[in-house]
Structure formats: structure tokens, C-alpha cells
Amino acid sequence: MVMMPKPDPDVLAKRDYLITRLKEIVRNPEGVIDQEAGLRAFECDGLSAYRQLPMIAVLPETKQEISEILKFCAAEGVNVVPRGAGTSLSGGALPLADGVLLGLGKFNRILEVDYDNRCAVVQPGVTNLAITDAVKSDGFYYAPDPSSQIACTIGGNIAENSGGVHCLKYGLTTNNVLGVEMVTMDGDIIQLGGKHLDAEGYDLMGVVTGSEGLLGVITEVTVRLLKSPQFVTAQLIGFPSSEQAGDCVGKIIGAGIIPAGMEMMDKYAIHAAEEFCHAGYPLDVEALLIVELDGPEVEIAHNNSVIEAVAKACGATVIRQSTSDEERMTFWAGRKAAFPAVGRISPDYMCMDGTIPRSQLPTVLKRMNELSAHYGLRVANVFHAGDGNLHPLILFDANVPGELEKCEQFGADILKLCVEVGGVLTGEHGVGVEKRDLMGEMFSEDDLKQQQRLKCAFDPDGRLNPGKVFPILHRCAELGKMHVHNGELPFPDIPRF
Amino acid sequence: MEKFDITAAAQVEEVLNWALANKQSLEVVGGGSKSDLGHEMQTGGRLSLKGLTGIDLYEPAELVMQAKAGTRLVDIEAHLAEHNQQLAFNPPDFGPLLGKEAGLSTLGGVFACNLSGSSRIKAGAARDHLLGVNGFTGRGQAFHTGSRVMKNVTGYDLCKLIAGSYGTLAVCTDFTFKVLPKPEKMRTILIYGQEANAAVLTLRDAMSSVHEVTATAYLPANIARKAGIDFVSDQDAAVTAVLIDGAAPSVEFRNTALREMFADSGAIEELHGMRSNAFWSFVANAGAFVADQSTAVWRLSVPPSEAAAYLFRLQQQLTELEYYLDWAGGLIWLSVPASIKDAGAEIIRSELKDKGHATLIRAAADIRNAVPVFQPQNPVVQKISEKIREGFDPQRILNPGRMYPVA
């Protein structure tokens, strides 16, 4: 298990004082939670293997309150953990024993829908799906669609730079956000971006997106709205091997087609999903692709015929095209239920999230099978095939002593493997607590320090969400120093070219 | 001034160590096409990455390429075209606009300035396609961020910070970026004779349609006349342009649908293939402002719906300005006569009323020394930006003062 920073006894000692003062700042008398029963609701996020009661939970209702809370916490030396809906799969919203949990659930209003500029201004606690729901009757939608979209909030999406099944064509959160308003740890409220494009100086919005709540607290988000496509269809394509499926994905893209979504499931995931929701998946294949296309009908017909030819040439044994929206939704139902489906056949499972160069898929699957045998734990794979984002689900039983640790070790080995083949530790779930101690696999000490210098520019005392993302927390003063040898700057031979 | 023309990434570290040891700053340049974009600098050395060239990795099926900073954009694009692929953000070439020849632009320059062409409204900006960067910080330390995969949320997304930092944070030696299939077919639909107000609404309607429009622009008649493209410069009329591309049957279908949609908006014509390409290059490269090098040229990003009203306010005060619109009205190009003091900066920026930003792309050195080239920032944002820069380059050796004054 990853260790969290040791609670500060001085902060714990003044808990009553902090509660009194926070109750003065937050107008709503129920906005400060200090009783265990109430705090229990915040003890974990989607990574439920890690639990911790926060010292105090605060639910502000205005950005001015957030500003005052942060200013107060900064002055008192108290850490703050921001939280949206708490759906993080990496422990990004895991509370701290000596920290204030800042819940943004009350910021749940859509402030403006602006079709002239094809954007919406929303508060951070609005759920991802609620944005699309608000505009779909006018034929618009918000593109990023993480699988938790019914519950996860747009503020959390900014923190994690959330993806979804449609990223290959439509991008991640970072590519679909025009502006954010945020409060810094000093209590300053700043606007980054807006309804226009591109940053005027450094792209601070770009680095805030995906910063896992370490740089500021988001209070408003301007998202890009897209017109809903005219038609959407899906194809199910089954293959006798995952190599052939992987090959087919490359060839579809090679043919100049960027599908709206392109998902792959391995045999284990196919069977679990089929048993769970009877999507009509073929059970005699080793790998299954779901390829979704959107656009005008003529384009879909054209691209579907290209894809069919490519799939056949790659050895597909099953090709089935959805003939109605209902059938398309059935195709997806199995994939979308893959996690609970796997959950049903195993007491516990852990969902991993690495990205690999797609050509490495056969190697990675083979090595993963070897690891599975080594650890004696089964693994099912679902894969955002278009962009190489792999979600191995490791099956285990937390009631068996040592199995959770074994599972974590297996998971770490998978992620190290992803990095080894040229990929990354996390494609969309974030580093959080879960992958924090693996950061050294991907970054040198100097690179990690350089990232933390960015943190220092926003939050020099490290009050926002400490213990997440970075394995070792350096003090900013120490990070600011130039490295100096023998009291002098390095003085090599002067190069002349 | 010391001049360093490096040909290998490792040499950058040596040059940086020289600069640090000798307390000298460096002007970092690629092909030099945009060396007059930004404030003038006084530096002790000049580090040219022009000789650092080559494509290190290209996997068309994975939509990814990695190339060295000095690789010329034209070479990258030619190589991609051999595999029917492209940079979907269509980076412009500002060389001719800035009095240089065409084709000098390097990959490093494109990402350092985060420059995107007309397709930016659909495909995203240069920064959206940047996946990974290697280089050296102003500390003389090796620097790496990102990766070669599309989906990566491991640590801070420093690629976003590097894109558009004009070489003030790190000397980047190579870039890994996303590439996309080149569309099989393209069509530019032209609508003649609209006023700016009506054109902005047309562009809005095109963008809000289901027809997946890639780019939209509006050229008043005086600008269209300079294009040197049949059906554009020979009509003596303003031109509203809508670009669609993709698979042939899809383009045909959308072309017909859009023409019907705008049938009542004015006379309609189409550009195909080469003419269509030439038109969008003219728009992205500010081709209209190349011939007369005396004027000051601004590039403004605004909410698209504000464009027409903004221009109206501006024209009341700056009667001699020329303009045209890209990005559905969200990108305004302005050309201001040299005679106007401060290149119109005060009026141009104050009329924005904090909605958007204006960059002075071209002006004589004395004007650029007197007027902020980049939009002045909110003091808190400025403070954070300055601290970020300090974290990367504490001795301020990289392009000091190019974006904002040395504190």
C-alpha cells in the first residue's frame, strides 16, 4: 500500500478552532461537516482500497467562500483536498487525516449555453452527462464521455483530463475545454481562457487540466459543444487472435478512417460481458472489436464497406453491423458493462489503466498472460484500441490474506511493462495515490523535480492535495536552487560550431 | 555575439552550460522565419537548431511521428503526404508575412509559437497534437515530458506549457506529435457579397450544422482581391468561405447540403483541389498582408460572435485598417498603417474588453519595443507565469524578454 504523508499533530490539535472559523466562513450552517457519520461519506473515492476520514469536510456554495477557505487554510498551514463526485479511480480525492476535504457538489449549475459560440459555461459540480443532456434537444453534445459520465463532474474531468471511448476522434477533456475559472491556494480567483481560442501567454489552462487538483480549485468551466452527428452505427468484428484484431485496427486507420470509437475486448472479457448482459457477442473468438462510425449516412456506408474489406483481409471470422440504434446500444452494452460483468465473476477486481503503442499489443498480452500465471491471478482485458489505452482487470479476493498485495504487485508489473514498451503509466485514470510510487519508472528525478517546480509556481507551500502524484515531496526553496558543483557552475569546454 | 549552430541534441547542453557559466543569455532560433515575432532581445549568444534535423520515428498506423526541432515543416509535410497523412492543424508559414522567404519554418518554431491554421476550429491547435518533448531547461538539465501515445495523463501536461512558450522555458530538441489521415477530397464553398455581420452568422450556421465543417473564413472584397486565386480575387466581392473535407461520397453529400443551406445567402461558387489549398494557405499565412511590408499586423482571438461588433467599434476609431476573419470569426487579422502611433495597440486591446487577446505579429522594431507584443496579463496570472518561467530558467538565459519584459 502507498503511504500517505504523516498527519501534522499541530494541525490536528487545533481542529476545534478550525471548525469554528470555517463555520464563520461558510454561510450554510450545514456546510461544515465535523461528525464522523457525515465525514464517512467522503472517506474514499472510486479507488476504495484506500480509505481515510478527512479531518473536516467543507461544502462551500460560492467562489468567494472557496477563496476565503483557501486563504484561511493557507494561513493556518492546513492541507486541502478538492473533491467532485469522488469517482476517481486512482485515489485523487482520497482525504487526508489532517486535511480539509473541499466538496464542490453544490456547484451544480449550468450557467450559460451559448450556441453562437458553441460553448457552455458550467459550474464544476455539474456532471459530465448533464452538459450533454442540457443541449441535446438542440442537437449538440459535449464530446468527452468517460464511462462514469453519469456521476463524474466536469471539475473532476478537468482535474483528471478525462477521456472516454470517443477520444481518438474527438480528443480528451484538454482538447474540449475553452476556459476555466479557478481559485489559487492564495485565494485569488483567476480566469484562464474563455470563449476564445488559445492562450495569450503560457497555456496555464493546459497545465491545470490533468493536474489532479494540485494547482488550484476549479470554480467554472467553459466547454466546447459539438453538433451531434447525423447517424451513428457500430460494427462487431471477431477475430481468432488478438494479433489479427490489433492488425485490423492499424489497417483501418491506415485506410484513412478515424472511427468515433474503436474498442477491443479479449476472450475473458467477452465471455464475462456476454454472460452478464447478453449483448449477442460471438463466444468462439479470441478478440472482439466494436467499431463505431458517425457522420452522414453516405460516409458511414462508404467507411463501413472499407472496414469490412479490411477486417476480412485481417482474418475476421465474425462481422456484424448494427441495423438500428437499439442494436448499436446492445453492442455497447456489453462493453460498457465489462467492469461490473467481471465484478460478478470475482469477489474483487482491480482496474488498471496503461497506454501502449498499439503495435506492442501482442507482446504486452503475451507478457501479461505470463504474469497472470506467475501471480496466480486471472486478468481480463478491455482496450481503447484506437488510442492504445489498455484496461486490464485483475481478478482477486481481498478476503484471502495477501491477495490484495499480490494484485497490486501484478498491477505494478503491468504498468512497468507498458512503460518498457514505450507507453505510459496512466492513459486516463490519473496517477493519484495508486500510481504515485511508480512515477520513477517513467520520469527521471530531474523531470519529477521540474514538474514539482510547476506546482511551486501555483502552490509554494504544497497545501493542495499533497501525497498525490509525486512520490517525494520536495520543498520549493530546495527545488529553486540551481545545481552547483564545488561552489561553481559547471564550466565545460566552450563549444564552437 | 557567440553563434552556436548545433547538429546534435547533446551540444545544446554544452551551449547552455557555456551560457550559465558566462552569465550570457541566448537567442534560440530555428529557421528564422519568425525571429521578428516578439520583442527584440539583447543576448550574448545565438543558438540555432536549424542543423538539428531528421525524422526519428514515424508509424503511420499509430498516427505518430517524432522529429528533431530543426526539421523543416515542408519536409515533414512532404514525408507525411507520401503516406497520405498530414498535420491536421495545418500550421501556417509566417515567413513571407514577416519579410522572409517561404518554407523556412521548422517544427520547433511551429510548436514554440503554437501556431495553427484555419482548421484549428475543428482539429485543435498545435498544442493539441503535441504528445511529447525532449530538450534541456534553462538549468542546463535534460528535460522530458509526455510520450508517444495519444492518451497520457501521467504527471503534469508540460507539453501544453512548452507549446506557445516561444523558447523561453526550454530548448526543445525533438517533438513527438499526432498525425492524421489526409482527407481524400476537399471542397471550399464560396458565398459572395456578404457584409461582415451577415458573414459571421453564416459562419456560425455552418459550424453549427451537422456537416462537420473544417474551416470557415470571411474576406472583405479588398482582401479577396489580393488572393491571386480564380473565383476569389476576380469577383470584386467579399467572400465567405466554408471548407469541408473527408471521404469523397461524404464531401459530395455535405457540399450539396451546405450549398442548399446557403442558397439564399448570395451567389455561390466552389473551389476544388489546388485552388482550395491555395485559398486556405492565403488565409492562414496572412497572404493579404505580405506585399505591403510597411503596415503593422495583428492577430486577435475573440469569441466568434463578438467579431462583427468588435470590428465595427474598431473601424470607428481606426478608419484605415484592413481586416479579415478566420476560425468562424474567432480569429481576426488586422493590418494597421505604419503612421498610426502604437500600431493601434491601445484601441485594439481596450475594445476587446477582456474577451480574447491580441498579438502584434508584425511591426517595426521600435514599435515592438514600445508596445507589448503579447496581450498584457492579469497580475496574478502574470505572477504565476513568471514563477513557472523561473522554475525552468532561473538565470533567464532563454529568449529573455521575447514574450514579456525581464522583471
A289-326 pLDDT, tens digit per residue, is 999 999 999 999 999 999 999 999 999 999 999 999 99
Mind listing the pLDDT tens digit for each residue in A188-241?
Answer: 999 999 999 999 999 999 999 999 999 999 999 999 999 999 999 999 999 999
B183 vs A contacts (CB less than 8 Å): 256
Percent of chain B with pLDDT strictly greater than 90 = 99
Smallest CA-to-CA distance from B123 within B214, B232, B259 is with B214
Mean local confidence (pLDDT), A266-290: 94
Interface size between A and B, measured as CB pairs under 8 A: 300
* Strand order from edge to edge, sheet including A32-33: A32-33, A56-58, A99-103, A79-83
What pLDDT is recorded for position A145?
A: 92
Nearest to B131 by CA among B180, B78, B82, B183: B180
- 3-class DSSP string for B153-190: CCCCCHHHHHCCCCCCCEEEEEEEEECEECCCEEEEEE
pLDDT at A490 over 60: no
The answer to whether A319 faces chain B, any CB pair under 8 Å, is: no
Residues of B in contact with A489 (CB under 8 A): 17, 20-21
- Helix pair angle (A63-76, A15-25), 10° resolution: 160
Q: Give the pLDDT of residue B77.
A: 98
Asked if residue A489 has pLDDT above 60, the reply is no
Measured between beta carbons, the chain A residues lying within 8 angstroms of B153 are 160-161, 163, 172, 210, 426-431
What does the mean pLDDT of chain B come to?
Answer: 97
Interface of A with B in 417-456 (CB under 8 A): 422-431, 435, 439, 442-444, 446-448, 450-451, 453-456
Q: Tell me the chain A residues in contact with residue B248 when contact means C-beta distances shorter than 8 Å.
A: 302
Other CB atoms within 10 Å distance of the CB of residue B281? 17
Give the chain B residue whose CA is nearest to the CA of A357.
B149
Does B121 sit within 8 Å of A296, measured CB to CB?
A: no
In A, which residues are within 8 Å of B165 by CB distance?
202
A14-27 confidence digits (pLDDT tens): 999 999 999 999 99
Answer whether residue A491 shows pLDDT above 70.
no
Q: CB–CB of A296 and B210 under 8 A?
A: yes
Contact B233/A at CB under 8 A: no
- A422 neighbourhood in chain B, CB within 8 Å: 147-149
pLDDT tens digit sequence for A107-116 = 999 999 999 9
Minimal C-alpha gap between A199 and chain B (Å) = 8
pLDDT of residue A340: 84
Q: Could you read off the pLDDT of B373-390 as tens digits, one per residue?
A: 999 999 999 999 999 999
What confidence score (pLDDT) does residue A485 get?
52
Rounded to whole angstroms, the Cα distance separating B381 from B387 reads 10
Nearest to B203 by CA among B314, A305, A406, B195: B195
pLDDT for A483? 61
Of A118, A196, A201, the CB nearest to B208: A118
Mean pLDDT of B35-48: 95
Examine the pLDDT at A472 and tell me if it is beyond 90: no
What's the pTM value of the predicted model, to 2 decimals? 0.96
What's the confidence (pLDDT) of residue A49? 86
| Euclidean distance between CA atoms A42 and A40, whole angstroms | 5
Model confidence pLDDT, tens digit, residues B155-182: 999 999 999 999 999 999 999 999 999 9
The count of other CB atoms within 10 Å of the CB of residue A369 is 12
Q: Among A301, A431, A446, whose Cβ lies nearest the Cβ of B154? A: A431
State the amino acid at position A485 in one-letter form: H
Q: Is residue B335 classed as helix, strand or coil in its secondary structure?
A: strand
* pLDDT for residue B187: 98
Q: Please identify among residues 189-208 of chain B the ones whose CB lies closer than 8 Å to any CB of chain A.
A: 204, 207-208
Q: Single out the residue of A400, A380, A375, A401 nearest to residue A390, CA to CA.
A: A380
CB contact under 8 A, A201 and B149: no
User: Are the beta carbons of A253 and B61 separated by less than 8 Å?
Assistant: yes
The fraction of chain A above a pLDDT of 70, given in percent, is: 97
- Write the ipTM: 0.97
Looking at chain A, the whole-number percentage of residues with pLDDT higher than 90 is 84
Confidence tier at A488 by pLDDT (50, 70, 90): low
User: From CA A23, how far away is CA A21, in angstroms rounded?
Assistant: 5
What is the structure's pLDDT at B383? 97
Q: Band of the pLDDT at A165, cuts 50, 70, 90?
A: confident
- Whether residue A487 has pLDDT greater than 80: no
pLDDT in tens, A405-418: 999 999 999 999 99
Supply the pLDDT for residue A1. 77
Inter-chain touch A358–B181, beta carbons under 8 Å = no
Q: Cβ separation of A228 and B301 shorter than 8 Å?
A: no
β partners of residue B369:
none
- A396-405 confidence digits (pLDDT tens): 998 999 999 9
Per-residue model confidence (pLDDT) at position B114:
98
Average pLDDT rounded to a whole number, residues B113-127: 98
